[in-house]
Amino acid sequence: MTEILIRHIEFAATHAHVWGFVIIFVLMAIESSFIPLPSEVIMIPAGFLAFRCGLTFQSPHLDAIVAVLMGAFGSLAGAMFNYYLSLWLGRPILYKYGKYFFLKPQFLERSEEIFRQYGDITTFVCRFLPAIRHLISIPAGLSRMDLKRFSFYTTLGAGIWCIILTYIGYYLGHVAGNMSYADLVHKGKNLLSEHFIWIIVGLVIAVVVYLYIHHKVMKGSKK
């Protein structure tokens, strides 16, 4: 599937100077919904094109910033779709018919289990985890998580993830010569895998800080 997507992204890149940001927004919205579209195939080429002045403004820094924003807001749009879809359909229908729309019962059950165990912060953390990032908004909708908190955590997590992927593409645009989009994506994914442990370390630190602050706030509110 990844190779097929790469070929489509390569074709879309020929129109990136006009439609690049729209393509990023739409594809990241799809990625954040129930369709398992890998964000690496979208945001790594976006960073590469930004460095090579292949996007609308033909300014590396400005194009990279706008690409990240479009990626983050696209992710939020897709997550909102899942949130309201789960509210509308409800748990029984999702579990019964979700398998026809890439929503396998075991994945739905696991996402609900994670959400019940760790709460709102999972909508932030899970934006960095493959296979679960596009599902965590479903239990958030089923539990009627506060929409402002949902939007904040989703946008924050998606934004940081888009920054990481865009930077990888930007870096490859700087150090690499001419390469195919398949090579670009695979090299980017390899870089991500090699340094993923540091993303996990950062997430752990962020969660610990969040839990500490949350505990202090709740403790203070009880006085």
Per-residue pLDDT of the chain (223 residues; tens, 9 = 90+): 566 777 777 777 778 888 899 999 999 999 998 787 889 999 999 999 999 999 999 999 999 999 999 999 999 999 999 999 998 988 888 888 787 777 888 878 888 888 888 778 899 988 998 778 888 898 999 888 999 999 999 999 999 999 999 999 999 998 887 788 888 888 999 999 999 999 889 888 988 887 777 667 666 655 5
Q: Does pTM top 0.85 for this prediction?
A: yes
Domain extents for the chain? Answer: 2-221
> What's the chain's length in residues?
223
